[in-house]
Amino acid sequence: MKNFFFILCFIIIGQSLNAQLYPIKINNDWGYIDTTGKIAIEPAFKWAGFFIDGLAFVSSGKQFGFIDETGKLVIKEQFANVSNFSEGYASFLEDEDWGVINTKGEIVIEPRFAAPLIFHDGLAKFKLERGLFSTYGFVNAKGDTAIYPRYEKLSEFSNGVCMASEDGSKYGYINTQGEWVIPATMDIGVMMKINGEYDFSDKDFSNGFIAVSKNDKYGLMDINGKMVLDYKFDFIGKYSEGLAPAKKDSLYGYIDQRGNWVIKPIYNGAEMFRNGLAAVSKGPYLSEQWGFVDHSGKVVIPLNIYGNFNPYKPMEFFKGAVACYITEGVFGYINRAGKVIWKLE
pLDDT 10s digits, 281-290: 999 887 899 9
Q: pLDDT digits over 231-277, tens only?
A: 999 999 999 999 999 999 999 999 999 999 999 999 999 999 999 99
Mean pLDDT calculated for residue range 156-184: 96
Q: pLDDT digits over 17-61, tens only?
A: 556 899 999 999 999 999 999 999 999 999 999 999 899 999 999
Domains detected in the chain: 1-117 (no CATH), 121-205 (no CATH), 209-345 (2.40.128.630)
Given CA atoms 56, 60, 61, 66 in this order, what sign does their dihedral have?
Answer: negative
C-alpha span between 273 and 243 (Å, rounded)? 7
* Residue 18 pLDDT: 54
* Residue 10 pLDDT: 42
Considering the entire predicted model, what is its pTM?
0.88
Cβ-defined contacts of 140-147 (< 8 Å, 24+):
141/89, 141/100, 141/108, 141/109, 142/108, 142/109, 143/100, 143/108, 143/109, 143/110, 143/112, 146/176, 146/178, 147/123, 147/174, 147/176, 147/177, 147/178
Mean pLDDT calculated for residue range 304-314: 87
Closest C-alpha among 128, 138, 199 to residue 174: 138
Q: pLDDT digits over 128-159, tens only?
A: 986 778 999 999 999 999 999 999 999 999 99
State which amino acid sits at residue 153. K
DSSP state of 46: S
